[in-house]
Amino acid sequence: MNTTAMKILLALERHGELTLEEISKLIPKRHGDHRDFYVLASLIKRGLVDDPWMPDEKINQSSGQSSKEQLLAWKLYAMSSAEGTASYKNHHYAIHGNGETLKGQIFSISGVGEIAISESRTKRFDRAFTIGSGILIGIAVALAAVLIERYAKGF
C-alpha cells in the first residue's frame, strides 16, 4: 500500500472519523485536480474506508450500476472544498440540510481497513524479526567458526 493511502488509514484509525476536507489535506497535490483523489477513491472502493453516501456494493451490482473509481475521484475532488454545491466535468453535487457541507462529509475506517493496518504492522514486525535473526545467526556462526579454527589449530 502506498504511503498516502497508509497515511489516510492511520489518520482515520487515530481519530476515528475525519471530514473530507481534513482527508484532502493529507493528500499531496501533485496534479491539482481529481487525479490526486484516486488514492482515496481506491480506499473507498476496496472497502477500507466507509463514506457517508456510497451505497452498498451489493445494491450497486443488483441494480446494474457500477460506480467507477474515476467518477468517485471526480466527486471527491469537487466536494473537497465545496460548501453546499459543487460541479466538475458536467457532474453536479449538492447537499441540503441544517449546517451540512460537502467538504464536511464524514469518513471512517472500516473493519477491513483495520485488518489491513494490522496486517501491515504484523508484516513489518515479521520482516524486522527475520532480518534481526539473520544478523544474530550470522554473528554466531562467525564466532563459532573463529573458535573452532582456534581449537583445531591447538590439536
pTM over 0.75: no
Tell me the C-alpha distance between 71 and 38, whole Å: 10
∠ CA(45), CA(117), CA(130), 5° rounding?
135
10 in any annotated domain? yes
Please name the residues in contact with 20: beta carbons below 8 A apart, sequence gap of 6 or more: 76, 79, 80, 102, 103, 104, 105, 107
The label of the residue with cell 499531496 reads: 28
Segment 100-104 shows an average pLDDT of: 87
Q: Is 36 within 8 Å of 77 (Cβ atoms)?
A: yes
Question: Residues 88-113: what's their mean pLDDT?
Answer: 86
Cell of 109: 475506517
Residue 16 falls inside a structural domain: yes
- By percentage, how much of the chain surpasses pLDDT 90? 41
In a domain, 48, yes or no: yes
pLDDT confidence band for 1 (50 / 70 / 90): low
Q: Is 32 among the domain residues?
A: yes
The pLDDT tens digits for 41-98 are 999 998 899 888 756 554 445 444 446 888 989 999 998 888 888 888 888 888 887 8
CB burial class (10 A; 0-12, 13-18, 19+) of residue 23? Answer: buried
Question: Is the residue at 49 inside a domain?
Answer: yes
Residue 151 counted as domain residue:
no
Domain count, the chain: 1
pLDDT given at position 59:
44
The gap between the terminal CA atoms of the chain, to the nearest Å, is 57
Is residue 71 one of the residues assigned to a domain? yes
Indicate whether 123 belongs to any domain. Answer: no
Residue 36's domain comprises 3-109
* Residue with cell string 466536494: 79
Q: Which pLDDT band, with edges at 50, 70 and 90, does 8 fall under?
A: very high
Task: Provide the 8-state DSSP code for 54.
Answer: P
